[in-house]
Structure 1
């Protein structure tokens, strides 16, 4: 929002400098981005009256003007502007004047004719980007007066960055109210009176969805002067606020938007027809916008339609067909309240962002459309003449905008702010912000201003008290607090995260929403929950898992020559199901690059599946249950290097290599991922002491030939199922393929560790255990001893 200090001072007495007032706004939560001058520096420019214009004797495109600049003598000035005519008033840079860019005006001769100054265009004064000739000033502009002083060009413009909840300050009315509360000054403003209807001309108004458009008002104004010009003071205020003057009617609607915060629009009445309908788009709707873009509005687009079809994207931009032009003498003026929910994201969907959509998406005062209609009507009649018809409107304030009082307690103020504000101070601040305050036992009942959509509870009112009273005036004593008690689950997850950090992993935190392409690539079987109003197309759905964020982070680092990565993240995944949205706590990780730090004595070995599997085993080492890795297919993982992680038969996650197609798609090297149910990983067993045997252990090694497809883990699990008391451990210590075996065979070597608690084992004990193991593996997998 661009705030003209000169304009603001017409509403509120601001005696502070622009810098001081800007600092005050920042401290109150309206952050000041910049302070700009209303015009570039120039001096020596006066208001001049062109007395006579004659052709240059030696140049067809030049003219010799006689100009009265209030200096006591008539100036002879050579000018090339095509609009220079006798009787006009225009800026005159007298001898010695300095124009923007340090251009100094000196006495000169142009094609043999002396020139004693320079008649200026708006471009030459830095007041416009383009112009067709001299800057024409009003007929009542006082000749000889300094132009800078007369136009108030020493004005300062404050560029304020408003947060989305402060849409009430997107108009001078809201800014003035804020300034009045901060400076303890009364707030003025224009007197808005009802303009009586002077003609019966009117249009019918229909609204098909009262929730999307609670209030819609329209008024016919006819008999406009097509040659009318927007007054200079309006053009100047528009320019200082960043808008370009276009046409008197359009300029008035923009001016009222800047003044009251209410966007408006005007249709050429002949194109609009006898009735206006506010409805959502349907099949066959087409509209060419004022910017020349052709769109096909969909069922989510709110439209204003006439007899021939859509006339405007409601609250966003009008159509070219009904645009007000230089020959328009009859218009339909619109003033409406559109729901933020109905317009949210619709401008962005068509590649647009307008001043109107910016305001309506954040919320406009629903009580102001009819006031804005009267204000705009009066200004248009004053500038372009004509007669106004009756105001036709449909709708009333919906229940969502009903006034609901908020209770404010004195003791709550003290508890939250740490300071007791005087009752008079509380009432002054809230009343100054437009609230209606009634004292009750122990506090107040407060009816917030309708424009303040962000004031809905007691804490909101206390925040207003704090920022207007001054954050810097609040006590700086630290609050007393006790450390929160964490749950056993939180402690266990914290321990797992510290364990990952000890293994060289770095924690990352990524957005909980991702692009639909990323979600579809990793989790095609899950229909991710789409956001109603996403920040961008890359953040459009809630993530069904944590891998996309890790892979995106890895791609970012690899592109910057950081290839050795150990990343993990703990967060929620969001999976829609029949009961609604299921939110699950997950712990995920990523490995990429070298398996060990670079060292001159060690060969470079890249990480592989078993490195990732080892990390998972370490994380689950304290889990209560039997951990197994079962070969399975996951859309995001390599078919031959992926496994489902199971604990006591239930799936708790996945581990594997990123699928080659995804590696190519996201331009990352080979990397390995795991993702586990954090809640289950946090279920750790309490360590328990086991007796130690006083007798020696015996090891017996066996080698078995099995089919290549038999997983070694399944063989170990089958041995464990025997439950042999003296078999304490089974170790896989070798896998052999090659000479002496068929192409589809492999040799698995197992070490059997045997120990008893009551005696030293004999050869018979060892043989019986070995036979039981071989028989079990032979029956289950067709294993044959290898000699």
Structure 2
């Protein structure tokens, strides 16, 4: 918000210079973004009066004037402004004057006529961009006075940046109230009397949406004179607040907006039909706005309408067909309170951002409508004349915001701030902020003012006290802190431990978006419907991921397209799985996933150039699973999944429960995903990985380990993982390890069969095993394989 310092000081005038005043505002939370002079640097410019004005003999567009500047002699000045005329009070730069840009005024001849000065426009004095004509001063401007003093141009334009909760300071009244509290000064409120009623003309008001608009005031003002001009003082206050003067009616509504922080709007009364209705729009109802653009209004947008059509977007922008023009004779003035929730975000839907919407979105004072109406009426009657009708008010009291009642404890205030503030000072601050306060020795019972929507709990009051008291005035007291170790269950594996395993395997961590391309996700997981975002960043980031793979595969594709052949990436994050039982219809499951492509090693003369295969991916998963210390409870079983290649996919089970998958990405997805080579991937639930079995203490055997190799042939359909697991469960007490070290099919092996070479490691904790003990254990294994897998012992 922008305003002039002099206007603020009309309300409250602390004994502070500009810098100190701005510093005080910033420290109170009204951050000052910038301070600029309201006019350029100039000198030697005075008020003058044109006493003679005639046509230049040798130039059609120039006039020769004599100007009275309060000196013994009149000044001859040649002027080319179209609005120069007899009797006009003007700004005169005399010979010797210095204008902005260090432009010095000297004696001159223009087409043969002497000129001893210059009649100045707004732009020539650094007061704006208007250079269409010379500056016209009021008829009572004292001739000879310095123009800087007369127009109070030794003034500063201050711009403050407000947080969204401080809508009460979007007007001079609110900023002055803050400054008064900070300096313990009374604010000079503007006296607003009821405007005289000289007409009985009224227009009915119907609140069709009382929750969205619980209060609406309207007044008809007849016989206004739109040919009148806004007075210079009004134009200047608007200009110094960053608002351009348009016409008297618009200028007055803008002035009230800046003065009270309350938006208003005026309609051409002759363009209205019947009563005013405040209602929600009909879907795709059309409205041509004041800027000439036609919009189709959504059904959730509040509008001001008459009996036949929409007139304006409520709290946002007026309509062209009902707007005030130069030919307007009668106006209908509105002053309303709109619920912020029903205005919030609507202006952005239509590509608009107005001063009115900026304030209504944050909330205006619901008790200010009548005062704003009377203030605007007063100004209009003074400027454009007319006959004001009675104010018609429609109100739904039950829907108006209620003032919050809060209790502030003295002890709590002192404990949070770390300092003691006298109770009388606290009460004075709260009362100057507009609050009703009842105090006891230990508490303050406070009723928040109607314009402070943000004060609802005790902490809000503590913040107000600290802000007004001054953060710089609170003593620096170091807090007392006690350190304690955070409890961490020993059986809980940290995520960083899992990441370190992957980093040692050559993986790099990736961080991808939680929202992905619906086409890629549907290709990988056609049976899982991701949560669709209502307002996505783009169409290819419009659904929440049901797996980490879409994002990781996109990252891998990005690297492949940049000539990175060997890529290993992993990511930890949430997958958003459909779940009708959840309130949000999705379950958020922490997952750990990885993708890998290329060769096992970079190209090297001494190393074999071998492509990554399924077993490389499975080995990575097994290393992660090994951290749980209960690998025997985890199994890999062949699986089919839309994302993975058939025959190269395994589901990972823990005690029979599915906890992840590993395999090769299906070749049919390579084109959709932009992959150039075969890619292997895995994905596991973090909860499964991080919950490990605690190790137990056991004696280490001091006796030797014995190895025996067994070679058997089995049907090629036999799953080797299940076969090895079954050997572990036989119950051989001395069995310490099993390892498959060879698989063979070919010459010497019957078609449809395969040869398995298995090493069995045996060790006792009590003695050195004898050959008979070892052979007995081997025989048990062989018999088990023969009975359960129809295995045949190879010679």
Give the structure-1-normalised TM-score. 0.85
Q: How has the CA–CA distance of structure 1 residues 267 and 481 changed in structure 2, closer, same or farther, with 3 Å as cutoff?
A: same
Kept in 2, the 8 Å contact 1:595–1:605? The answer is: yes
Task: Please give the alpha-carbon distance, in whole angstroms, between the structure 1 residues aligned to 2:117 and 2:160.
Answer: 39
Partner residue, 2:709: 700
The unaligned stretches of length 5 or more in structure 2 are none
1:755 is matched with which residue? 762
Cα displacement (A) at 1:382? 1.3
- Per-residue displacement from partner, 1:421-465 (whole Å, max 9, x unpaired)? 111111011111111111135211001111111111111111111
Aligned-pair CA distance for 1:130? 4.0
Q: Which residue of 2 aligns with 1:496?
A: 495
Contact 2:277–2:306 (Cα < 8 Å) also in 1? yes
Of 647, 657, 663, the residue aligned with 1:650 is 657
Of the three residues 745, 752, 769, the one matched with 2:781 is: 769
Alignment of 1:8-23 (within 5 A): 8-23=8-23
1:304-324 CA-to-partner distances (Å, cap 9, x unmatched) read 112331111111111111111
Q: Distance in 2 between matches of 1:144 and 1:94?
A: 11
Name the CA shift for 1:732/1:158 in 2 (closer, same or farther; >3 Å).
farther
Distance 2:436 2:369 in 1: 21
Determine the C-alpha separation between the residues in 2 that align with 1:537 and 1:123.
49
1:683 aligns with 691
Shift of residue 685 of structure 1? Answer: 1.7
**CA deviation map 1:700-730 (0-9, x unaligned):** 37698988xx8x9x64145314523346545
Residues 1:334 and 1:695: Cα distance change in structure 2 (over 3 Å): same
- Equivalent residues of 1:730, 1:750 under 8 A apart: no
1:621 aligns with 2:626: yes
CA contact (8 A) 2:78 2:115 kept: yes
- Alignment RMSD: 4.4
State the SS of the aligned residue for 1:165: coil
Counterpart position of 2:210: 210
Contact kept in structure 2, 1:555 and 1:667, CA below 8 Å: yes
Counterpart position of 1:580 = 583
- CA spacing shift, 1:492–1:728, aligned 2, 3 Å: closer
Q: 1:497 to 1:216 in 2, by over 3 A?
A: farther
- Indicate yes or no: 2:253 matched with 1:253: yes
Distance in 1, Cα, partners of 2:721 & 2:361: 63
Tell which deviates more after alignment, 698-707 or 592-601: 592-601
- Cα displacement string for residues 616-635 of structure 1 (whole angstroms, at most 9, x for unaligned residues): 55444344673456677888
Secondary structure of 2:305's partner? Answer: strand
Matched, 1:184 2:184: yes
Match of 2:731 among 703, 725, 731: 725
Match of 2:127 in 1: 127
In structure 2, C-alpha distance between the alignment counterparts of 1:69 and 1:660, rounded to whole Å:
92
| TM-superposed deviation, 1:174 | 1.3
What CA distance in whole angstroms lies between the structure 2 residues aligned with 1:158 and 1:786? 96
Q: What is the deviation of 1:123?
A: 2.5
**Aligned-pair CA distance for 1:575:** 6.0
Q: Which has the larger radius of gyration?
A: 2
Aligned 8 A contact 2:180 2:186 in 1? yes
Correspondence 1:106-505 to 2 at 5 A = 106-398=106-398, 401-483=401-483, 486=486, 488=488, 495-500=494-499, 504=503
My pick for the range that moved more, 50-59 or 692-701, is 692-701
CA 1:614–1:459: 2 relative to 1, 3 Å: farther
Q: 1:664 to 1:112 in 2, by over 3 A?
A: farther
Change (3 A) 1:628 1:482: farther
Once the two structures are TM-superposed, the CA of residue 290 in structure 1 deviates from its matched residue by 1.8
What residue in structure 1 maps to residue 94 of structure 2?
94
CA contact (8 A) 2:738 2:761 kept: no
For each residue in 1:530-573, what CA deviation from the matched residue of structure 2 results, as whole angstroms up to 9, or x when unmatched?
A: 67x99999999887677788899999999999998866455695
Shift of residue 385, structure 1, vs aligned partner = 0.7
Contact 1:89–1:139 under 8 Å retained in 2? yes
| Mapping for residues 507-656 of structure 1, pairs under 5 Å | 525-526=528-529, 528=531, 568-569=571-572, 577-581=580-584, 584=588, 586-588=590-592, 617-623=622-628, 626-628=633-635, 646-652=653-659
Residues 686/38 of structure 1: CA separation in 2 closer, same or farther (3 Å cut): same
The 3-state SS of whatever aligns with 1:189 is coil
CA gap of 1:586–1:31, structure 2 versus 1, over 3 A, is farther
Kept in 1: contact 2:181–2:429 (CA 8 A): yes
Give the superposition deviation at 1:408.
0.9
Q: Distance in 1 between matches of 2:753 and 2:66?
A: 108
Inter-partner Cα distance in structure 2 for 1:369 and 1:462: 30
Provide the C-alpha distance between the structure 2 equivalents of 1:123 and 1:606, rounded to a whole number of angstroms: 75
Instruction: Quote the Cα distance in structure 2 between the aligned partners of 1:281 and 1:641.
Output: 58
Cα deviation 1:752-781 (Å, max 9, x = unaligned): 4432537456456446535745875679xx
Distance 2:150 2:366 in 1: 37
Separation in structure 2 between the aligned mates of residue 181 and residue 170 of structure 1, nearest angstrom: 17
- Mapped contact 2:501–2:623 kept (Cα < 8 A): no
Cα distance between partner residues in 1 of 2:86 and 2:126: 25
- Alpha-carbon deviation of 1:345? 1.4
CA–CA separation in structure 2 for the residues paired with 1:700 and 1:216: 94
Distance 1:54 1:15 in 2: 50
Post-superposition Cα deviations, 1:132-156, rounded to whole Å, max 9, x if no partner, equal: 3222222222222222232222222
TM-score normalised by the chain length of structure 2: 0.84
Equivalent-residue separation in structure 2 for 1:663 and 1:619 (angstroms): 27
Between stretches 681-690 and 12-21, larger displacement belongs to 681-690
CA spacing shift, 1:595–1:131, aligned 2, 3 Å = farther
Alignment check: 8 A CA contact 2:520 2:673 kept: no
Q: Is the contact between residue 404 and residue 447 of structure 2 (CA under 8 Å) also seen in structure 1?
A: yes
Whether the aligned pair in 2 keeps the contact of 1:715 and 1:777 (CA below 8 Å) is: no
User: Structure 1's 569 and 768: CA in aligned 2 closer, same or farther, altered over 3 A?
Assistant: closer
Change (3 A) 1:345 1:125: same
Q: Is the 8 A contact 1:45 1:147 kept in 2?
A: yes
Q: Is the contact between residue 496 and residue 619 of structure 1 (CA under 8 Å) also seen in structure 2?
A: no
Equivalences, count: 775
Cα distance between partner residues in 1 of 2:152 and 2:208 = 47
